[in-house]
């Protein structure tokens, strides 16, 4: 039987159709539309596949993306890569993700030769080690049965990543609390050593829990039928080498919410305290009246 990890690796390994055209499949994980992390990870994989790592090794150090339309979980996605620039030290790739003839995401990724230079970083928050944090609790069956079908599938799925919340929150009955959280996470199986694979995996995982942090002060959650949420953009910077199958700490805060939008930022540390990546995302957050029951949206 195929494991969730091998399914994810297959999902992120986009198929090359032409030199700069790739195709990725879609996966229904219980969200109403294609999960944003899937499109981000596939777009980065497409960009990485246009780099000549044998002759001129350059690693992705940042990506910036805009979500334009909700993705259809029943249809594949085409990725058109523009080889924008190959300079002396840096390269840039622009990727357009297309479904049904319409762009659903724009992504730009920058690549760099490995170089040495001055270093500093913010310290990792003082939190318990992942072994001292409880596994996320499953929703009781009697509670799950009362939820919409899509939400049931989202909450009962066995995903490829294991998450452990340092300060867990009841998403079905969310209290009001300050807009920050820390989450330990790792891929649930060991995988190969290719850095490109681990960057694509971290890109996928970075879309979990980020925007939701902006809901904390308001006592709302995307599981509630009157709350509508969707990612608008996403930025990710890779700072230092890491492995997605080792424990990483996602430290997230939300500095602002306004105009039916929320902003969230994240810093990702390995368990030795090295800052390996940073993220930022803005998303739409609407509280509707008389809204029909539905599942979680994109982000």
Positions annotated as catalytic residues are: 207, 231, 281
Question: Rounded to whole angstroms, how far apart are CA atoms 165 and 293?
Answer: 26
Tokens of 4: 């969730």
Rounded Cα–Cα distance for residues 274 and 279 (Å)? 15
Q: Is the dihedral of CA 208, 205, 75, 45 positive or negative?
A: positive
Q: Cα 292–169–163 angle (5° rounding)?
A: 100
- Token look-up 């840096």 returns 90
CA gap 183, 237 in Å, rounded: 18
Cβ atoms within 10 Å of 115's Cβ, excluding its own = 6
Q: Return phi, psi of residue 69, to 5°.
A: -145, 155
Q: Which helix (H) or strand (E) holds 40?
A: helix 36-48
Are 165 and 136 within 8 A, CB to CB? yes
CA atoms within 13 A on the CB side of 214: 29
Q: Is 102 exposed, middle or buried (0-12, 13-18, 19+ CB in 10 A)?
A: exposed
> Cβ distance 58 to 88 under 8 Å?
no
Q: Alpha-carbon distance 85 to 80, whole Å? A: 15
Q: How many CB atoms lie within 10 A of CB 168?
A: 14
First-to-final CA distance of the chain: 29
């Amino acid at each position: 039987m195929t494991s969730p990890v091998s399914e994810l690796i297959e999902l992120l390994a986009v198929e090359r159709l032409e030199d700069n055209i790739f195709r990725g499949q879609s996966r229904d994980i219980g969200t109403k539309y294609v999960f944003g992390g899937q499109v981000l990870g596939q777009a980065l994989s497409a960009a990485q596949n246009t780099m000549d790592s044998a002759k001129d090794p350059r690693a992705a150090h940042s990506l910036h993306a805009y979500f334009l339309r909700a993705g259809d979980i029943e249809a594949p996605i085409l990725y058109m890569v523009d080889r924008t620039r190959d300079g002396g030290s840096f390269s840039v790739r622009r990727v357009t993700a297309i479904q049904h003839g319409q762009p659903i995401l724009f992504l730009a990724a920058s690549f760099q030769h490995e170089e040495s230079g001055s270093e500093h970083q913010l310290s990792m928050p003082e939190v318990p080690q992942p072994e001292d944090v409880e596994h996320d609790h499953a929703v009781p069956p009697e509670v799950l049965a009362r939820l919409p079908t899509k939400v049931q599938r989202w909450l009962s799925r066995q995903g490829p990543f294991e998450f452990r919340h340092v300060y867990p929150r009841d998403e079905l009955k969310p209290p009001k609390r300050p807009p920050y959280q820390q989450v330990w996470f790792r891929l649930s199986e060991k995988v190969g050593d290719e850095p490109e694979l681990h960057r694509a995996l971290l890109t996928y995982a970075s879309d979990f829990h980020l925007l939701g942090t902006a809901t904390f002060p308001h006592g709302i959650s995307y599981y509630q039928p009157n709350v509508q949420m969707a990612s608008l953009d996403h930025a990710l910077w890779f700072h230092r080498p890491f492995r997605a199958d080792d424990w990483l700490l996602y430290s997230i805060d939300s500095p602002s919410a306004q105009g039916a939008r929320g902003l969230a930022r994240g810093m990702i540390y390995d368990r030795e305290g090295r800052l390996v990546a940073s993220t930022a995302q803005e998303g739409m957050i609407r509280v509707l009246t008389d809204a029909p029951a539905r599942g979680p949206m994109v982000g």
